[in-house]
Amino acid sequence: MYKQVMLLGLLMEMPMYGQQIREVIENHHDLLADFLKKPTIYYQLERLARDGYLEIRRETVEAPGPGAAHDELALRERDVYYITEAGRRHFYTLLRQTLSHYTPGLSSIDADACLFFLRHLSASEALNLLGERHARISASRESIIAQMQTFNHLDEAHLLVQDHKRTLLDAELTWLERTMEHLRTKTTSDTSSYAHPTS
């Protein structure tokens, strides 16, 4: 899901061609760069276009050349990707679903991708979505505690695993509570509204 969120989110900013998208990810979203290599990007772009979320237009743009000519900018033919209205709706659906939901055991990469585009939501809506996420994580944490108390005969290894899960959830809850408090002080949805406090 994070792949579509990232690509659609970037194209919400401006139309781009494939190499341009890849360089933006590598230069500005390095946390996800290892998961979005060139073949994956083009596969996802084509898939999004087939689903009607993107429109591909062949255009002449100023772009670097291939291989050794990468530093030579010139007018070149490129497939430029434009997000459609259906793509915008899909982006917001993915953004809202991912921010508000939590699935135990899955990587947080989906949520991390969405945080890059939190500015597309009002502070109040972002706060509500993260509040739903907080409730789901709290329920998962309580379930783990109940399991540890019910199955107190578990061997040490299993208890360590459960304790590790609980500790990770505690960290996530602490971060969410700090972020939600930060959002409560904001009434606008510009980018600076989501600069996270460092203390």
Q: Angle CA(37)–CA(38)–CA(42) in degrees, nearest 5?
A: 120
pTM of the model as a whole: 0.80
Instruction: Calculate Rg over the CA atoms of the chain.
Output: 21
The pLDDT tens digits for 140-150 are 999 988 887 77
- Topology at the third CATH level for domain 2-90: Arc Repressor Mutant, subunit A (1.10.10)
What does the alpha-carbon distance between residue 84 and residue 81 come to, in Å, rounded to a whole number? 9
The 10s digit of each residue's pLDDT in 25-73 is 988 887 788 888 889 999 999 999 999 999 999 999 888 767 655 677 7
Name the more confident of 132 and 27.
Answer: 132
Asked if residue 56 lies in contact with residue 11, where contact means CB atoms within 8 angstroms, the answer is no
User: Can you state the angle between helices 2-13 and 38-50, rounded to 10 degrees?
Assistant: 80
In this predicted structure, which of 112-116, 160-164, 190-194 has the lowest mean pLDDT? 190-194
User: Would you list the domain boundaries of the chain?
Assistant: 2-90, 92-182
